[in-house]
Amino acid sequence: MNKAHPLAWHSALTSVSYHQRNWLQDRGSLTRRIQDRCGQFRVKRVFQSFSRIYGDELAVMGLRASELAMVREVYLYCGNTPVVFAHSVVAHKNLRGAWRGLSGLGNKSLGTVLFTNPRIKRTPLEFKKVSCGHFLYDRACAGLAGLSSKPANLWARRSLFTLHGQSILVTEVFLPAILDLPL
């Protein structure tokens, strides 16, 4: 992958505030961190279906364009305010294996599964600034109806979680309200 390409994901962050960097680079459970800073935390599933996945996700997941994957999208809320949009992808064939319970999560956090099993390994984080027209930006902004204007861009991070050689790709898009939470 060409790291200089503007559409590429990057292993290092540039041009971000200390507050943003602190949230983006934390490798612990994002769910737990938000819960620790919120009086009322909840997960709202907004999409879950078997579908084809986006170009760069195919390469990361090692899938062919013809293969289906389960795509799950949720918002993580602090009170009534969405602070993170999460987009996860798992190959259909892996739902019968290591990730068989994921399709039944509903409005439960995926983080509670990923960070309670010590056998699950995580790859290094990758980062990307997404803006209008990128599918992650457009999907994430759909839940920001209360804002008078959409942000120019949003920071996203992603990594693979692997169990028994089977992976799930988790991408988290940080919404503007995340910066209102204490570090």
How many residues are there in the chain? 183
Q: How far is CA 76 from CA 68, 108, 116, in A?
A: 25, 10, 19
Q: Kindly give, in sequence order, each residue whose CB lies less than 8 Å from that of residue 12, ignoring residues fewer than 6 positions away.
A: 127
172 is in an annotated binding site: yes
110 is in an annotated binding site: yes
Alpha helices in 86-151 (DSSP H): 111-114, 135-141
Q: How far is CA 79 from the centre of its chain?
A: 20
Q: Kindly give, in sequence order, each residue whose CB lies less than 8 Å from that of residue 104, ignoring residues fewer than 6 positions away.
A: none
Q: Is the dihedral of CA 123, 173, 143, 132 positive or negative?
A: negative
Q: How far is CA 127 from CA 10, 55, 179, in A?
A: 5, 17, 17
Residues annotated within a binding site for substrate: 72, 110, 172
Residues annotated within a binding site: 72, 110, 172
